Amino acid sequence: MKAHDGMYIGGEWRPAAGRDTIAVVNPADEQVIGHVPAGTPEDVDAAVRAARAAFPAWAATAPAERAARIGALRDVLVARQDEIAETITAELGSPLKFSRLVHAGVPPLVAGSYAELAAAHPFEETVGNSTVLSEPVGVVGAITPWNYPLHQIVAKVAPALAAGCTVVLKPAEDTPLTAQLFAEATADAGLPAGVFNLVTGVGPVAGQALAGHDGVDLVSFTGSTAVGRQIGAVAGAAVKRVALELGGKSANVILPSADLAKAVSVGVANVMGNSGQTCSAWTRMLVHRDQYDEAVGLAAAAATKYTPGERMGPLVNAKQLDRVRGYIEKGVEEGARLVAGGPEAPFERGYYVSPTVFADVTPDMTIAQEEIFGPVVSVIAYEDEEDALRIANGTVYGLGGAVWAGEESEAAAFARRMDTGQVDINGGRFNPLAPFGGYKQSGVGRELGSHGLAEYLQTKSLQF
Ligand code: NAP
Ligand code: MG
């Protein structure tokens, strides 16, 4: 894998301020595949200065020109799709087929949607005797995780660019090569120097310096609730805009009228895809008491199809592996019944766990409350619809979810009562324009579509 040994700042690859590097590891075989520089506060400062310098001119470009650059960026992402998929497979470990379809397939859709929105958005509106202007917030500090490494970058950078903001990105230390590829793509797309800048590094150093930098006007963070809380506090103290996309513990609610086999198999696939490392994964499967045993059997059978090393990749690193195995052990300790998988590692090498299904899970168990971020499904029985709703809403999170019923209208009526930001009805398809984000402790703000664009805009009204 090709790795740059510098930071992408002001339109060029510049030597890092310090000497420390981060080793990038392939989680499938634990081999080091490259090194990138570990950014310091000095690197962050240089990148923020470059973004500030580029801001006035970029903010003043016509929306059609910004749309054209974002469209060019989409085209580069399409042209380099194979290389992107291979890079993500190498540093995240997802099977190449999944990398192609999802990790490399979704970002061009999102970039394309912002090319269109940049051109079509009403940046000026008349309200009675006022003209209301939507202006870019300024310099954006974007901090992203490793689980959807390119999607999470594009879901922040594309709307920021559409709004007229400039960006400094600090990507996850586990997946910096994808971020370097993205930086190359912004250059290929003809973005002016300084509009997009990249500082690789670790969270507590480079990430913290970026979140706390005076020259950053908005911090957009995706990752754990623990770090999100700290970033929210720092931003609050500085009266700075902040968007937080945090964890989840989403429910897959299967109503008695649903096609049970389909709801279970799609539900299991939703969790096993990306090895369970999806913030909105439907990790709690809620099934009516009368259908419980049948659903447990179907879920166990569906899970065993996700053979580690073939249909399912490893977890991203050794720490996540320990964490997930710890949760599986905790589930057993608290009295849940393993019907597939378990805490034993399937291979000696690589950070793999087996696809795991727990039955006899009660809503208060640790595995039903905390985000595991691994391929673990908990099947929970409910007595009636009110009970299902109480269980579905009974965590501190509210990011995603699913409802299945014989009729869409029945499922939608249930979904309206859920305390969560996004619900798929009978297996609804991904929509790059649908706002994505959390209720409760799953976050603040929305990404994607026009709601995602609005995060990067501030309004000014002129009265006549
Ligand atoms: P994390 O530590 O919150 O990482 C997210 C991003 O924040 C990374 O770029 C990280 O850098 C950076 N960061 C870490 N500490 C920071 C700080 N003090 N100030 C500023 N930035 C900081 O998450 P993680 O360690 O990768 O994963 C831990 C857990 O978070 C997972 O098990 C999962 O529950 C959750 N998670 C959720 C999502 C989601 O999409 N909602 C995504 C990933 C993880 P480093 O890469 O150097 O840590
Ligand atoms: Mg971390």
The one-character DSSP state at 204 is I
CB burial of 25-50 (b: ≥16 within 10 Å; e: otherwise) equals: bbbbeeeeebebbbbbbebbbbbbbb
For ligand 2, the distance from its centroid to the CA atom of residue 206, given in whole angstroms, is 12
How far, in Å, is the centroid of ligand 2 from the Cα of 464? 51
How many CA atoms does the CB half-sphere of 207 hold within 13 Å? 18
**How do strand 356-359 and strand 376-382 relate by DSSP bridges?**
parallel
Find how far residue 380's CA is from the centre of its chain. Answer: 26
A 10 A CB-CB count for 433 gives 14
Q: What is the pLDDT, as a whole number, of residue 251?
A: 98
367: nearest Cα among 283, 447, 300 = 283
Report pLDDT for 444: 97
Ligand 1 pocket residues where CB is under 6 Å: 143-147, 170, 172-174, 202-204, 207-208, 211, 222-224, 227, 230-231, 245-247, 279, 371, 373
Q: Please tell me the number of Cα atoms within 13 Å of 335 on its side-chain side.
A: 7
Alpha-helix runs per DSSP H in 80-224: 81-92, 96-98, 106-120, 149-163, 176-188, 208-211
CB 121 within 8 A of CB 162: yes
CA–centroid distance, residue 22 to ligand 1 (Å):
16
Q: Which amino acid makes up residue 204?
A: P
Residue 1: its pLDDT value, please?
A: 76
Rounded CA-CA distance 314/320 in Å is 10
Q: For this structure, is 279 an active site residue?
A: yes
Are 90 and 314 in contact by the 8 Å Cβ rule? The answer is no
Name all domains of the chain by residue range, CATH numbers in brackets.
6-246+441-463 (3.40.605.10), 251-431 (3.40.309.10)
Residue 230 CA, closest ligand 1 atom number: 18
- Which of 91, 173, 245, 447 is catalytic? The answer is 245
Paired with 126 in beta bridges are 131
Closest CA to 98 of 462, 423, 375, 379: 375
Distance 5 CA to ligand 1 centre (A): 23
Pairing of strands 196-198, 166-170: parallel
Active site residue 165: no
* CA 90/CA 146 separation, integer angstroms: 12
pTM of the model: 0.98
Angle between helices 176-188 and 149-163 (to 10 degrees): 40
Closest residue by Cα to atom 28, ligand 1, is 224
Report d(CA 343, CA 46) in Å as an integer: 45
Q: Which ligand is nearest to the CA of 248?
A: 1
For 93, left (φ over 0), alpha (ψ -120 to 50), or beta? left
Taking only the tens of pLDDT, the chain with its 464 residues reads: 789 999 999 999 999 999 999 999 999 999 999 999 999 999 999 999 999 999 999 999 999 999 999 999 999 999 999 999 999 999 999 999 999 999 999 999 999 999 999 999 999 999 999 999 999 999 999 999 999 999 999 999 999 999 999 999 999 999 999 999 999 999 999 999 999 999 999 999 999 999 999 999 999 999 999 999 999 999 999 999 999 999 999 999 999 999 999 999 999 999 999 999 999 999 999 999 999 999 999 999 999 999 999 999 999 999 999 999 999 999 999 999 999 999 999 999 999 999 999 999 999 999 999 999 999 999 999 999 999 999 999 999 999 999 999 999 999 999 999 999 999 999 999 999 999 999 999 999 999 999 999 999 999 999 99
Q: How many whole angstroms separate alpha carbon 73 and alpha carbon 93?
A: 25
Going by CA atoms, what residue is nearest to atom 18 of ligand 1? 204
